[in-house]
A and B are shown apart, each in its own frame.
Chain A
């Protein structure tokens, strides 16, 4: 349902990705730059153990967000609730299809969705690569600091992903 799609979008992008994940990732990058001090060990390890793996919990929801956008936020869904559901089914069908077509032609829905999926794949790839590389180290702050360039790439990928989610409409638009 569209309301839950909007809530999901807000929960994932605003509540989690921007307010928490990217915030904590940025702080992590500050702590390992230029080289991690001893007293920063606990927060660095905490990030690696608790924050960083949150991607695995959220990845499916993010994927679903992009895949379901075209259907959930299509204006033809307006005919499923009042006041437009008063029309007979035949009318709802052809007007709904027409509005759907107008919407797709007016906005680059397909491009947005494809760009979003691409951004997701890139982020996921970076995450998997980093997880693998971390696994090869002792996971001490000094070892992790060697991976800072890759963490920065991961950060950029997450930011790009957030921007792609932000481009998706947060309300149904007919015009």
Chain B
């Protein structure tokens, strides 16, 4: 793992011993041996860098998971969840949680620790497992590594069921092991690529997992302008092939014979004009990474040769005009904006299936709005420096508009807008609304008129201060009082609320890019109802069932249905569902 490519991640350690208040000698030593810097707010004295050994690999915040109640130490699940929530927001995310299993409770001894109860040691009642359960319900994205001195065999099955990413005996946990866990499971920001939003952190983690062996084929899918090439460079940087070369093959608009020659090279005399033998990019990438951009434009004519190169068990190529094959040791990253390529029936889909390519989706800009401000700052600085313009700040209103805009051309579109704003107004010190295109401002106003609630953002799964999971839990636990006035006549309100809730959910699924199909007539894609309903159910379902789901959940409330049918996405979907499954249709 190339440590230097990562920004220092933040880890939460939930442990009754190390989480006790500072000064805590055991905690200090725990940090020392794992290469962590203690940044817990309770530090006494304030943190000074006492590490004389190799570089810090993470910042750590410690939490005991317990509270003092009447001279007795008791477990405190609510407190734990509050602390986790404090580090799970748009400004920062816990890279990982290290979780102890066994928490001692009971009256305080002279030494200041809990006396301990028999039940604390019962594997079925480990407090750590309860915490793990709650984390998986409320914060399922955060990776959890269980660290314990207790016997693993007793709780192996539960660890797996409750979604722990790993288990390590605390005496075997060291800096290298922690680094390995972080690399494979952590939500890590990169030093060279802007991406602190949750979709980007998850995407980068998938990339790291895909390149772990260093010999895989990786397919990067994403809309135009999402930074697929940057992601390919990231894949190279974090892989075992990072010391080797990184070579790019551009295919868009290039004739097939040129692509073949560029990729494989030729022998002297192989064709007219081949005066000298040349190596192809594939050979030049040996020991490193070959990046094929716009894989969707690869011509069918080189399919056979390409298959032998892509096949991880063969990995060989031959020059044009040659009779021998050269074995290569490299990883291959392909990128395309043709998201339907994995479902298509052409040869490229066949190639991908036969060569077991790992598929990575790069999120579009509108799904990573938390990165927009940093991207803007980056581009503003870049263009200021390139033309010697005045340094400027970006108005908060501009960021607000940018965060609400659809960005069909993604980062490239944002970059062009910033470039124009800086170049057109080189001497100004604030980038304001007046400097961004009118169509952008108009489109944001229109979306507000369509009552898009900016707080209700499925993309980051945050609803106000709550995650979707936390909100659903609250709803499920809500207890109506037996007060007649509270209960009387509320059914229609509740049905209406759920009708809009489900409508919003279905609309999100229909407008999610991964659930769309693309064509030359609809370059931005149209909703694929079957794929969208498969997405929300998490299961493989028939098309008829997809239409049934759309009908069922949009028909919850008659009054709301009239409103819902006016929506430009839901209206056609409902119409199609009724047309396809006319029984019991509502007019």
Q: Within the complex, what minimum Cβ distance (angstroms) separates B249 from chain A?
A: 45
Identify which of A18, A40, A43, A170 contacts B171 (C-beta below 8 A).
Answer: A18
- Taking a contact as CB atoms under 8 Å apart, the answer to whether A36 and B52 are in contact is yes
A162 at the interface (CB under 8 A from B): yes
- Taking a contact as CB atoms under 8 Å apart, the answer to whether A18 and B170 are in contact is yes
What is the total number of residues of chain B having a CB less than 8 Å from a CB of chain A? 24
- Taking a contact as CB atoms under 8 Å apart, the answer to whether B28 and A43 are in contact is yes
| B175: chain A residues within 8 A (beta carbon) | 30
**C-alpha gap A39/B102 in the complex (Å):** 34
B492 at the interface (CB under 8 A from A): no
**C-alpha gap A54/B5 in the complex (Å):** 42
Produce 1/0 per residue, B115-141, CB < 8 A to A: 010100100000000000000000000
Identify which of B28, B32, B102, B171 contacts A22 (C-beta below 8 A).
Answer: B171
- Taking a contact as CB atoms under 8 Å apart, the answer to whether B29 and A27 are in contact is yes
Query: What interface size band does chain A fall in?
Result: 20 to 34
Q: Within the complex, what minimum Cβ distance (angstroms) separates B520 from chain A?
A: 61
- Taking a contact as CB atoms under 8 Å apart, the answer to whether A40 and B26 are in contact is no
A37 at the interface (CB under 8 A from B): yes
In chain A, positions 83-118 with a C-beta closer than 8 Å to chain B are none
In chain B, positions 271-323 with a C-beta closer than 8 Å to chain A are none
- Taking a contact as CB atoms under 8 Å apart, the answer to whether A14 and B26 are in contact is no
Given A7-B116, A10-B121, A18-B171, answer yes or no on A23-B26 (Cβ-Cβ < 8 Å): yes
**C-alpha gap A23/B169 in the complex (Å):** 12
- Taking a contact as CB atoms under 8 Å apart, the answer to whether A19 and B17 are in contact is yes
| B171: chain A residues within 8 A (beta carbon) | 18, 22-23, 26, 159, 162
A142 at the interface (CB under 8 A from B): no
Identify which of B26, B28, B52, B150 contacts A37 (C-beta below 8 A).
Answer: B52
- Taking a contact as CB atoms under 8 Å apart, the answer to whether A170 and B151 are in contact is yes
Produce 1/0 per residue, B81-119, CB < 8 A to A: 000000000000000000000101000000000001010
- Taking a contact as CB atoms under 8 Å apart, the answer to whether A14 and B149 are in contact is yes
| B102: chain A residues within 8 A (beta carbon) | 14
Produce 1/0 per residue, B152-179, CB < 8 A to A: 0000000000000000011100110000
Identify which of A3, A14, A162 contacts B150 (C-beta below 8 A).
Answer: A14
In chain B, positions 1-45 with a C-beta closer than 8 Å to chain A are 17, 25-26, 28-30, 32-33
- Taking a contact as CB atoms under 8 Å apart, the answer to whether A31 and B121 are in contact is no
**C-alpha gap A11/B151 in the complex (Å):** 14
A49 at the interface (CB under 8 A from B): no
| A58: chain B residues within 8 A (beta carbon) | none
| A46: chain B residues within 8 A (beta carbon) | 25
The winner among B17, B25, B29 for most chain A CB atoms within 10 A is B29
B494 at the interface (CB under 8 A from A): no
| A43: chain B residues within 8 A (beta carbon) | 28-29, 32, 50
A33 at the interface (CB under 8 A from B): yes
The winner among B26, B52, B53, B174 for most chain A CB atoms within 10 A is B52
A74 at the interface (CB under 8 A from B): no
**C-alpha gap A23/B13 in the complex (Å):** 15
**C-alpha gap A70/B26 in the complex (Å):** 33
Identify which of A23, A33, A38, A166 contacts B151 (C-beta below 8 A).
Answer: A166
Given A18-B171, A23-B170, A170-B151, answer yes or no on A31-B116 (Cβ-Cβ < 8 Å): no
- Closest chain B residue, CB of each to CB of A42: B50
Identify which of B29, B53, B116, B121 contacts A23 (C-beta below 8 A).
Answer: B29
- Taking a contact as CB atoms under 8 Å apart, the answer to whether B151 and A3 are in contact is no
- Taking a contact as CB atoms under 8 Å apart, the answer to whether A19 and B170 are in contact is yes
| B151: chain A residues within 8 A (beta carbon) | 166, 170
- Taking a contact as CB atoms under 8 Å apart, the answer to whether A27 and B33 are in contact is yes
- Taking a contact as CB atoms under 8 Å apart, the answer to whether B50 and A23 are in contact is no
**C-alpha gap A23/B148 in the complex (Å):** 12
| A162: chain B residues within 8 A (beta carbon) | 149, 171
In chain A, positions 2-34 with a C-beta closer than 8 Å to chain B are 3, 6-7, 10-11, 13-15, 18-20, 22-24, 26-31, 33
| B32: chain A residues within 8 A (beta carbon) | 27, 30-31, 43
- Taking a contact as CB atoms under 8 Å apart, the answer to whether A31 and B26 are in contact is no
- Taking a contact as CB atoms under 8 Å apart, the answer to whether B53 and A31 are in contact is yes
- Closest chain B residue, CB of each to CB of A37: B52
Q: Within the complex, what minimum Cβ distance (angstroms) separates A42 from chain B?
A: 9
**C-alpha gap A16/B118 in the complex (Å):** 17
- Taking a contact as CB atoms under 8 Å apart, the answer to whether B52 and A23 are in contact is no
Q: Within the complex, what minimum Cβ distance (angstroms) separates B107 from chain A?
A: 15
| B30: chain A residues within 8 A (beta carbon) | 23, 27
- Taking a contact as CB atoms under 8 Å apart, the answer to whether A20 and B149 are in contact is no
Q: Within the complex, what minimum Cβ distance (angstroms) separates A20 from chain B?
A: 6
- Taking a contact as CB atoms under 8 Å apart, the answer to whether A40 and B50 are in contact is yes
Q: Within the complex, what minimum Cβ distance (angstroms) separates A90 from chain B?
A: 32
- Closest chain A residue, CB of each to CB of B15: A19
Q: Within the complex, what minimum Cβ distance (angstroms) separates A31 from chain B?
A: 7
| B29: chain A residues within 8 A (beta carbon) | 23-24, 26-28, 43
Given A14-B149, A39-B52, answer yes or no on A23-B118 (Cβ-Cβ < 8 Å): no
Besides the known contacts A10-B121, A39-B52, A162-B171, 8 further A-B residue pairs in the complex with CB atoms under 8 A apart: A3-B118, A6-B121, A24-B29, A26-B171, A30-B32, A30-B33, A30-B53, A37-B52
11 contacts between A and B (CB under 8 A): A3-B118, A13-B149, A14-B102, A18-B149, A23-B30, A23-B33, A24-B29, A30-B33, A30-B175, A39-B50, A170-B151
8 pairs of A and B residues whose beta carbons are closest in the complex: A37-B52, A27-B29, A18-B149, A27-B32, A26-B33, A14-B149, A27-B33, A40-B52
